[in-house]
Amino acid sequence: MRSAVLIVGTIAMRSLAYSGWSKSDIQQPDDPREHIRELQRKWGSDWAFSGIPTFGHLDHVHCLTEPDEHFDIGIVGAPFDSAVTYRPGARMGPRAIRAASTRHLPSRSFHPNAGVNPYRSWAKVLDCGDIPITPIDNVVALRQMTEALTELGSRAAATPDHQARPRLIIFGGDHSLSLPALRALKAVHGSPMAVLHFDAHLDTLHPSSYPYSWASDAAEFNHGSMFWKASREGLVLNGSSVHAGLRTRLSGTDWTTYDEDDHQGYLRIYTDDIDRIGVAGIVDLIRDRIGMDIAVYLSIDIDVLDPAFAPGTGAPEPGGWTSRELIRILSGLRDLNIVGADIVEVAPAYDSLGGDTALTAASLAYEIITTWVLKGLAVNGGTKVRGMDGGAVGSPANKQEL
């Protein structure tokens, strides 16, 4: 046995010698920190197609089980679709968006229009993982999402001189998650939010709009009535909120659905309005309605886009905006006081082979994160933040305006 060990050891050392290595080459250096730096230099980066698929190759921490973990911007998955009224599948959305974001390498994420790399600026941006949400009890699921988002949103930010509380961007999941998000924001900020809602559908529907007669409290929690419920709970700042991108059919035989929406105080911007007033006009309508100081919750249902750009969703509606138009609208709204956001209804089972819907959702998330980083720079340095359609952005003096 001893002879066998000696033979194996001799063969191993000879193999090292034949490969150009000696025993001294595998010894630890005197300075462990230098060794770590060398390992990081050699092995510390990924290609777009390698590594574990966190969002944009960001560091991953299961923030809900790490109460001492602080961050400035957190990506949180809410894999829940048990409140849909048509096609399910959005519970797989957070995973699909992360997989589609693999080309968002932190080392290659400088935003040429914003003049900043949001992952190499002041903000600590983490992928906080998913909320483990039950798919078989919507009452418990609502509680789980509310408690999780309240806990995460209540932490002190990692960089308090830029912002007091962290910002959360939530990947859905179906759109019902906006209700627990608004409950959490009300608990954290102590006041209702203006809602900036991009969607083909109103989502302020009275629950009786759906064709069922077995009413219950649980039935009120669905992905078309969550803003109706949020308004009834005093979570939405009526008179300052906006729907944008609307193009849906209504219930009944008249405009009663709009009357209900009017009672909740939303401005309605329709998809076709962009043909009349353009991107800049849409931006102006939203900014004039909301203002620059009010706390805003941004909610993007991916079906606001035409199915040509986002086929992978549960309730597609032809005739929507292009992804370019939506990105330009978002960039024009960078000076809004957005304190939380979601991107919902990405359902990869219906997506194209290339995952175009998830790819677009990942790009929208990048735009939101960039907006928050710019906002933090403005707060700390007094720089005026403006978007593509509002003037120059970024620090380079010679940057051309679009």
Helix (H, G, I), strand (E, B) or coil at 50: coil
Helix (H, G, I), strand (E, B) or coil at 352: coil
pLDDT of residue 30: 74
What residues form the annotated binding site? Answer: 175, 199, 201, 203, 301, 303
The CA-to-CA distance between both ends of the chain, in Å, stands at 76
Divide the 402 residues of the chain into consecutive groups of 10 and give the mean pLDDT of each group.
Answer: 48 49 57 89 88 92 97 98 95 97 92 96 97 96 98 97 96 97 97 97 88 79 94 94 95 90 96 98 98 96 98 97 98 97 98 96 98 90 51 39 32
8 A C-beta contact, residue 102 and residue 57: yes
pLDDT of residue 25: 53
Measured in whole angstroms, how far is the alpha carbon of residue 220 from the centre of its chain? Answer: 25
What residues form the annotated binding site for Mn(2+)? Answer: 175, 199, 201, 203, 301, 303
Catalogue all structural domains in the chain, each as residue range(s) with its CATH number.
56-380 (3.40.800.10)
- Report which of 261, 243, 348 is spatially closest to residue 298, judged by C-alpha positions: 243
Q: State how far the alpha carbon of 260 is from the alpha carbons of 38, 148, 199, 252, 272, in Å.
A: 63, 31, 17, 13, 22
**Helix 138-153 vs helix 178-189: angle between axes, to the nearest 10 degrees?**
40
pLDDT of residue 330: 98
Strand partners, 346: 313
8 A C-beta contact, residue 70 and residue 158: yes
pLDDT of residue 389: 45
Measured in whole angstroms, how far is the alpha carbon of residue 11 from the centre of its chain? Answer: 54
In the block, tokens 């962290």 appear at 166
pLDDT of residue 188: 97
8 A C-beta contact, residue 29 and residue 35: yes
- Report which of 308, 176, 286 is spatially closest to residue 241, judged by C-alpha positions: 286
